[in-house]
Structure 1
Amino acid sequence: MKEHTGDGDSHDGAVEILAGRLARVADITEEQARELIELIGTDWDSLLREAHFLKARHRL
């Protein structure tokens, strides 16, 4: 059983929620969304811009 470690749990949960939202809005996978969050941080406008760029790049 996973031990409660404090703020890390709430941060992980917030990242999962943000990744899910980004994946739905930008039509990318949740894995891609989590990677973008790790690279960029949690700024929504930056994440959305990069997600759209990523999606367009994969269409080529």
Structure 2
Amino acid sequence: MALEPKDPSQEDVVQRLVREIGITEEQALELIALLGLNWSSLVREAKALLRKQ
């Protein structure tokens, strides 16, 4: 399991969501605005977005 930085920046999280989950930057920014930087919640909702497409 890879270690995550203690305090990732919003841009880091956006890029990680785009790269690892496959959503757009706009979608990632919207999710962060709603959920904050909680990675587990972001991944769950990003995957839900992909299923709806």
- Report the TM range for the smaller structure's normalisation: 0.7 to 0.9
1:34 paired to 2:29 = yes
Size of the alignment, in residue pairs?
46
Does 1 or 2 have the higher relative contact order (CA < 8 Å, sep 6+)? 2
**Superposition deviation, residue 23 in structure 1:** 1.1
Structure with a larger share of its residues in helix? 1
> Identity rate of aligned residues, in percent?
48
Q: CA RMSD in A?
A: 1.3
Q: Structure 1: 5+ residue runs without aligned partners? A: 1-12
Structure 1 outlier segments of 4+, above 6 Å: none
Pair member with larger Rg: 1
Give the TM-score taking structure 2 as reference length: 0.79
- Residue matched to 2:4: none
Give the TM-score taking structure 1 as reference length: 0.71
Q: Structure 2: 5+ residue runs without aligned partners? A: 1-7
Q: Secondary structure at the match of 1:42?
A: coil
